[in-house]
Structure 1
Amino acid sequence: MTSINQLPAEGYVRLSQIIGNPKANPPIPAIIPVSSTSWWEGIKSGKYPKPVKLGPRTTAWRVEDIRALIQSI
């Protein structure tokens, strides 16, 4: 699991930065090790923060929301 210190200081993170992507080159380690299906179900249930649409095909999460989630776990 990646540490909270590897998140940017401010801004947005994409899903692959949160749940990781071992197939990327280089591999992206997970900050929150869950599947994408579990992540989206967690959003629907309120367990995980809601995303922000940055464009028609771009979804991201505020770093502050992800840091708060990690602190609450």
Structure 2
Amino acid sequence: MIKFIARFKAEYPGIDAVQHSCFTWQQDGEVPDKTISANQIAHTTAIHFFRMYDENVDPDKIFVIIDKIEKFK
């Protein structure tokens, strides 16, 4: 298993706030899976950020932009 770290920003329609943060995860293989990591970010980290503004946030509507991914040491 290889551990990665991603720098990202997340946005949600109708909420005038942007989350800027980092996220770490482990996966098999040398090439980070951006689709899975963006989905994980929306469902585990970003949802809590946006629920501070609206408790009815749908994680599938969170837009995650990954700026950079690298191996985490």
Q: TM-score per shorter chain, which class?
A: under 0.3
Q: Which has the larger radius of gyration?
A: 2
Q: Which protein has the bigger strand share?
A: 2
Structure of higher RCO (CA pairs closer than 8 Å, 6+ residues apart): 2
Tell me the TM-score normalised to structure 1 length: 0.27
Tell me the TM-score normalised to structure 2 length: 0.27
